[in-house]
Every structure is written in structure tokens, then in C-alpha cells.
Amino acid sequence: MDKLRIHGNVPLNGEISISGAKNAALPILAATLLSPGTIHIRNIPHLQDISTMLSLLGQTGVKLTLDERGNVQADASAVVSWHAPYELVRTMRASILVLGPLLSRFGAADVSLPGGCAIGSRPVEQHLKGLQAMGAKIQVENGDIRARCRGRLRGASIAMEMVTVTGTENLMMAATLAEGQTILHNAAREPEIVDLANFLIAMGAKIHGAGSSTITIEGIKELAGCSHQIMPDRIETGTYLAAAAITRGRIRLNNTQPALLEAVLLKLSEAGASIETGSDWISLDMHGKRPQAVSLATAPYPAFPTDMQAQMMALNTIAEGTSTITETIFENRFMHVQELQRMGADITLKGSTALCKGVESLHGAPIMATDLRASASLVLAALAAVGETCIDRIYHIDRGYECIEEKLSQLGARIQRATM
């Protein structure tokens, strides 16, 4: 199993490019199932989760070609199976994203029910209720979701009971081929939903309001092929900014979208960073200073993203002052706390809030990654710590950060992957 060895206490300094967004690429790849036309997608990141989605699509019969530069061509004109098996779903919950497209185009989908994961129980009943409102017959038996509809799904007015990102995506995709109008109330507003909507619109879908909490979709009979470029990864961007801040460094990130990171940039400025932005770049400079502690609570977009919570916690461990971080999206997203404590962090958990007293410095230690963003926070802590940190179970980070050692090395970090 791969491990990362990091010699910390080196300020990051330099310039790198941001990759395509994992959480936009996954639903967009699933949406290729909606059309018999040829689809070209650019800027797909090279990540484990993307490989899993490509395997899943390949198994259904989608013909895929991909090149080293992240361009994928997909042709779903000869789909032979509408089954997402447990072996794939258990390694990636986002496999649920094929449910809406398969059911809507073929009238049938058998998708293994995703279980809980390291960060929470993560049920999917909103996806199922929405599809039922559109006329689907759904049975959950022996751990499988069996969804069927006679003819096309019917448009419906659906009020989701909570803000769910993949739930909104599944229903928006399903509605593109439904008969009549669908209105999604209380929709998630994440930028990745806008990217998916733009992709579907390029295929001919009629969608209004993506990016707001009410999305209206007029169903049509068939979608065509198209060409699309995946948006930059805002969480990768935020993670590298936090990495520069925790090491008192200076960084410039290219090929990104500053407007999508307002809540994160605000907190990093509060931590003492000087931030400049252009149309597609962000620079951050700590001027060699120790960060100030910042308190925050996670919430759906445009508020502070849960996917950046662990990284900000790492920053607070060595910041000047005391902070509180409240996680409101997932019930168990504090798995990094125990590992940070092994490195000398002073954090106390009270329910969904972490109280962190900043210490002068962390020290290297053997630690273990537990989920994707927790792993990112441990890498950040290790970059700032005095001495060597060895992070085990690093496969978690390969699910969401493209070429992380190469990018960090380019910024001057002393980081090595050890393959055991």
C-alpha cells in the first residue's frame, strides 16, 4: 500500500495549474448515458474515482476513448446493460449518478445501494423519492435499487427535503428526457451543478435556473452529441491555497475560477493571507507570517464548503489563537482530528464542533488517511510540521488530487511516495 513521506517546515513557493473538477467530471461522465450521439469532454482529471466511473460506463456498453491530456470521447449508442454492481458502487458512492440517466433513457436501472462511508451514513432517499414522483417504480431489495418506468418519466414538481448535490444532479439528468416540465425546489446551487447543466444544454436539454435553488427542466425526446470542457476544481484550488498559508508561503494557481471560492478566500484573508485574483488565477502570500485562527461553519454553496473543512482545521492547528469549526453537512467528518492530535494539535471535539487552540508547531509522526479530504488535511499538516511525517493509506488522496506529489514538489515541498 502506498505511503507519503513528507519532510515539513518548508514554505511552499511557486506556480501550478489546477486540474479539472472531480465532482463536475463524475456527473458529466454519467450524463453521457443520456444520448446516442458522440460526446467529447476535455479537462477530465486523471483520478481513481474517474477511472471507476469509466469502468462503470464501459460495463454498460458505452464506448470510450481517452488520451493522456484528459480528453474523453464517449459513445453511448449501444448500451447493453443498466446495472451498476456492488463491486464498483462500494468503491465509489458517486456511482449512484448513473441511476437517473439509465432510468430516463432506457426505462430501467439496477444500481447497488451505496452504504455509509467514513464521513457519514449518506442515504439517497431524496434521489429515489424524486424519481418516484416522476413515475418510476422503485424497489430496494437485497442491497440493490431496482428502478423501472413504462415509457418516458413524467415531469413533476419536486420539493427536496434537504439540499443534496448528487440528488439534484440525478433528478436534473433524469428530467431532461422526461415528458413535460420538472421543477426542482430546494435544489443544490454548487457550481458543479451549473457545469453539468451547461453540458446537458450543449446536448440540447432545456434547463433554466441551475445555480439557483429552483431549477426548471422541459423534457425532450432525445439528446444529441456535444463537446464540453470540465470546470476547474475549486476544492483542489482551496487545498493548495491552504497549503501555502499553513507553510507561510507564496503561491500562484493558474487555470482556476476565483469567483467560485469567495467563502474560502474570505477565510484565508481573515487568516492573514494577501490574496490577488485575475480572471483565471489566484495568488496568495503569507509574507512569512504565522496564520491567525479562523472560525467557520460549513454549509451548502455559496457558504463555506464541507470539502474544505479538514484543510482549514489543519491551518488552525498551528495558527495564532483559538478557533471553532462546526460541520453541518456530514455527521462524522472529523476523522482527521485524531491524526492531527498525534502530530501535537490541541483540538477538543464537542458534537459537531471542534475547538482548536493553535500551537507553535506540529511535529512529524506516522499517521493514517481515512477519507479524501481528511487525507488532504494531513498532507497540509505534514508540510508545516517539524520533522518527517509518514501518511499511510494514501490511496484515499488519489481519488481526488491529480499528481499531488508532482504539484507539491514543484512548489518546493519535500515529498516522496513510498510503494510498499
Neighbours of 250 (CB within 10 A): 20
CB of 180 to ligand EPU, least distance (A): 24
Residue 194 touching ligand EPU (CB under 6 A): no
Residue 234 touching ligand EPU (CB under 6 A): no
Among 162, 259, 349, 418, binds ligand EPU (CB under 6 A): 162
Question: Which DSSP state fits 210?
Answer: B
| Percent of the chain as helix, strand, coil, to the nearest 5 | 35, 30, 35
Residue 120 touching ligand EPU (CB under 6 A): yes
Residue 165 touching ligand EPU (CB under 6 A): yes
CB of 126 to ligand EPU, least distance (A): 3
Residue 316 touching ligand EPU (CB under 6 A): no
- Is the previous residue joined to 302 through a cis bond, with omega within 30 degrees of 0? yes
Helix (H) or strand (E) holding 395: helix 395-398
Region of 58-66, 117-125, 356-364, 389-397 interacting with ligand EPU (CB under 6 A): 117-125
Beta carbon nearer to ligand EPU, 132 or 409: 132
Beta carbon nearer to ligand EPU, 126 or 370: 126
Region of 115-123, 148-156, 335-343, 382-390 interacting with ligand EPU (CB under 6 A): 115-123
Q: Which residues, in sequence order, are bridge partners of residue 2?
A: 419
For the chain, the distance separating the N- and C-terminal CA atoms, rounded to the nearest angstrom, is 5
Instruction: Identify whether the C-beta of residue 48 lies closer than 8 Å to the C-beta of residue 397.
Output: no
Residue 304 touching ligand EPU (CB under 6 A): no
Among 11, 12, 18, 23, binds ligand EPU (CB under 6 A): 23
Virtual torsion, Cα 257, 66, 193, 330, nearest 10 deg: -90
E-state strands within 153-249:
157-159, 181-185, 206-208, 214-218, 226-229
Which 372-391 residues touch ligand EPU, going by CB under 6 A? 372-373
Among 199, 240, 330, 334, binds ligand EPU (CB under 6 A): 330
Among 400, 401, 404, 411, binds ligand EPU (CB under 6 A): 400
As a whole number of angstroms, the distance between CA 354 and CA 323 comes to 8
From residue 77 to residue 106, what is the string marking binding to ligand EPU with x (rule CB under 6 A)?
Answer: -----------------x------------
Q: What would the grid cell of residue 416 be? A: 516522496
Count Cβ atoms within 10 A of the Cβ of residue 8 and give its class: 0-12 exposed, 13-18 middle, 19 or more buried: buried
Beta carbon nearer to ligand EPU, 60 or 306: 306
Beta carbon nearer to ligand EPU, 128 or 356: 128
CB of 405 to ligand EPU, least distance (A): 19
Helix (H) or strand (E) holding 165: helix 165-176
Region of 63-71, 164-172, 271-279, 284-292 interacting with ligand EPU (CB under 6 A): 164-172
Residue 199 touching ligand EPU (CB under 6 A): no
Region of 8-16, 80-88, 159-167, 361-369 interacting with ligand EPU (CB under 6 A): 159-167
As a whole number of angstroms, the distance between CA 335 and CA 323 comes to 18
Compute φ and ψ for 115, nearest 5 degrees: -85, -170
Among 34, 88, 124, 149, binds ligand EPU (CB under 6 A): 124
Region of 40-48, 73-81, 122-130, 346-354 interacting with ligand EPU (CB under 6 A): 122-130
Residue 126 touching ligand EPU (CB under 6 A): yes
Q: Is the CA virtual torsion 262, 263, 266, 267 positive or negative?
A: negative
Cα atoms in the Cβ-side hemisphere of radius 13 Å centred on 133: 19
DSSP, residue by residue, 324-393: EEE--S-TT--HHHHHHHHTT-EEEEETTEEEEE--S--B--EEE--SHHHHHHHHHHHHHSBSEEEEE-
CB of 344 to ligand EPU, least distance (A): 26
226 is catalytic: no
Beta carbon nearer to ligand EPU, 283 or 311: 311
As a whole number of angstroms, the distance between CA 34 and CA 100 comes to 9
Beta carbon nearer to ligand EPU, 10 or 160: 160
Would residue 50 be called left, alpha or beta, if left means φ above 0 and alpha means ψ between -120 and 50 degrees? alpha
Q: Which residues bind ligand EPU (CB under 6 A)?
A: 23, 26, 94, 120, 122-127, 162, 164-167, 306-307, 329-330, 372-373, 400
Residues with catalytic function: 117
